[in-house]
Structure 1
Amino acid sequence: MGDTKISYDEQFGIGTFKREICSELGEPFWLELTDGLVLPDMETEAGCKCCNMHTFICRLEAMADEKTVRKILYRVRHGIHPSQSAWAREEFLEIGDLDMFLQKHLETETERFIELNREHKDFYGQEITDEVLEFIQKNPFMLAPIRHGNKLHCMAFPYNMREYLDAADDTMRRYHACHCPFAKESILSDMPISPILCYCSLGHVMNFTEAFLGRELEGRVVRSVLNKDLTCEYEITIPEDIMTQYIAPRGMENVIDTRKNE
């Protein structure tokens, strides 16, 4: 998850998609892409089960190669930027060790949710019940990236954790997991949005890691509720120079095992 304190200072919407598509492929491409389309509106897409976004993404996938589409959506990242988590870079450099930084961040975030539970306070409207807290503690990579060799593993918070845990079937569990106002309602339709849209969420999750490591990184979507998984999980590759400079020798033994399995 990463930075749960981030302030969203940009109005996220289809304009964010337009900015990144034009930046990568030019405005003529955007005009061709959107010719004759009803552009998705975040406030009203739920009413048509995200049918406009379904058409938009289908056309984008048809007009651009998969690598380019992933790159664009990764940069959309819900309108946030690593500069909004600048505090993490300072703290990481002060600690000077990746594993120690991640452990401290995990402990801080865990204590925060224990306190929310104890004081009966919510997290962005979500009640942190005993069951929710137990779920979080069983999945620590919801709170901070977990390193396995040269990979960082992350998991997104379900949008409504209490409903997610109480869901009667997998479809409703996926529905309550999804955060995206451009995709969520499509899970309950006959035309779910393409899972490639989840590269926007990958960018959102990677924002924190790119902030404290101070560079753009490579990652991939491992699991996605739009792909009929029950969780949204991501993998981020740690650059070799970071492995060498910021991981003590005690943590290097897993690198060989990880690469052998790739």
Structure 2
Amino acid sequence: MGDTKIVYDEKFGITTFKREICAQLGEAFWNELVENIELPDIDSECKCQCHNMYLFMKRLEEMTDEETLKKILYKVRHGLHPSQCEWAHKEFMEAGNLDDFLKKHLNDELNGFIELNKEKKDFYGQEITDEVLTFIKENPKMLAPVRKGNKLYCMAFPCNMKEYLSVTDEKMKRYHACHCPFAKESILSENVVSSALCNCSLGHMMNFVEAFMDRELRGKVVHSVLNGDLICEYEIEIPDDIMQKYVTLEG
């Protein structure tokens, strides 16, 4: 969602977590957190079914309160920052209406996938088959935020859409939905990484929305495959002044 124009300029990894944890709680906290545990490595977690991240998150949850943890992970957001979507603020201002902006963004994104399907090109390695394209059309929240009242709803692309659509086993569906190299393999283990980690993906989704609204926002994880759901979905609050100025209410 909005990611087709992003240039990823930071190597995401455990150092991203360290930066945000230290910024919020200090380096002494970090040192205590990681004492006598093996740090998760983004390239090798798959070999241990993400058990290092399972232990890391377990300890982090024990040492922090829920709101602080959420704030930290939301800032991790896969190493993204709103400046990578600064084009969106200009387009939002030009549209002058939230629903018009979201509709245009949805159409632009959808047309891009229609072209990928037509030209048999991939999306970050994913084949856009006819079945995948139909799934995308049926789930517009994957392409652009969908407004319901004063909330926006976003849905993450399944990591492997073709496999996600073909399997019937729910655990395997969750596995093929998950993108996170720090958590994906744990879905097939007895020790699934805490769904609190999905606040990182919430931050990823909010990155685009915060960019076009030009401010920090509040949001929450609604559904998470790490929590047993079949999709990952997020809710973002629209500030009152945005509603008043950029939303035309019916009636």
How far has the Cα of 1:4 moved from its partner?
2.2
**CA–CA separation in structure 2 for the residues paired with 1:38 and 1:97:** 49
Residue matched to 1:65 = 65
1:73 corresponds to which letter in structure 2? L
Residue 146 in 1 paired to residue 146 in 2?
yes
Residue matched to 2:102 = 102
CA displacement, residues 178-204 of structure 1 (integer Å, 9 cap, x when unaligned)? 000000000000000000000000000
C-alpha contact (below 8 Å) 1:2/1:145 kept by paired residues: no
**CA–CA separation in structure 2 for the residues paired with 1:4 and 1:121:** 14
**CA–CA separation in structure 2 for the residues paired with 1:7 and 1:189:** 33
Residue matched to 1:124 = 124
**CA–CA separation in structure 2 for the residues paired with 1:182 and 1:92:** 34
Residue matched to 2:159 = 159
**CA–CA separation in structure 1 for the residues paired with 2:152 and 2:82:** 17
How far has the Cα of 1:7 moved from its partner?
1.0
Consecutive unaligned residues in structure 2, runs of 5 or more: none
1:158 corresponds to which letter in structure 2? P
Aligned residue runs from structure 1 range 78-97, under 5 A: 78-97=78-97
**CA–CA separation in structure 1 for the residues paired with 2:219 and 2:4:** 20
How far has the Cα of 1:152 moved from its partner?
0.1
CA displacement, residues 47-103 of structure 1 (integer Å, 9 cap, x when unaligned)? 000010000000000000011001100000000000000100111011111000000
Residue matched to 1:6 = 6
**CA–CA separation in structure 1 for the residues paired with 2:126 and 2:98:** 30
What SS does the aligned partner of 1:4 have?
helix
Aligned residue runs from structure 1 range 1-262, under 5 A: 1-250=1-250
What SS does the aligned partner of 1:11 have?
coil
**CA–CA separation in structure 2 for the residues paired with 1:158 and 1:247:** 30
CA displacement, residues 141-189 of structure 1 (integer Å, 9 cap, x when unaligned)? 1000000000000000000000000113000000000000000000000
What SS does the aligned partner of 1:85 have?
helix
What SS does the aligned partner of 1:236 have?
strand
**CA–CA separation in structure 2 for the residues paired with 1:32 and 1:165:** 43
**CA–CA separation in structure 2 for the residues paired with 1:215 and 1:40:** 32
C-alpha contact (below 8 Å) 1:117/1:133 kept by paired residues: yes
**CA–CA separation in structure 2 for the residues paired with 1:4 and 1:221:** 22
Q: Percent identity between the aligned chains?
A: 66
The alignment of Structure 1 onto Structure 2 pairs a total of residues equal to: 251
C-alpha contact (below 8 Å) 1:21/1:72 kept by paired residues: yes
**CA–CA separation in structure 1 for the residues paired with 2:171 and 2:28:** 39
TM-score, normalisation: structure 2: 0.99
How far has the Cα of 1:3 moved from its partner?
3.0
How far has the Cα of 1:131 moved from its partner?
0.2
1:110 corresponds to which letter in structure 2? L
How far has the Cα of 1:249 moved from its partner?
3.4
**CA–CA separation in structure 2 for the residues paired with 1:3 and 1:210:** 14
**CA–CA separation in structure 2 for the residues paired with 1:150 and 1:248:** 12
Residue matched to 1:260 = none
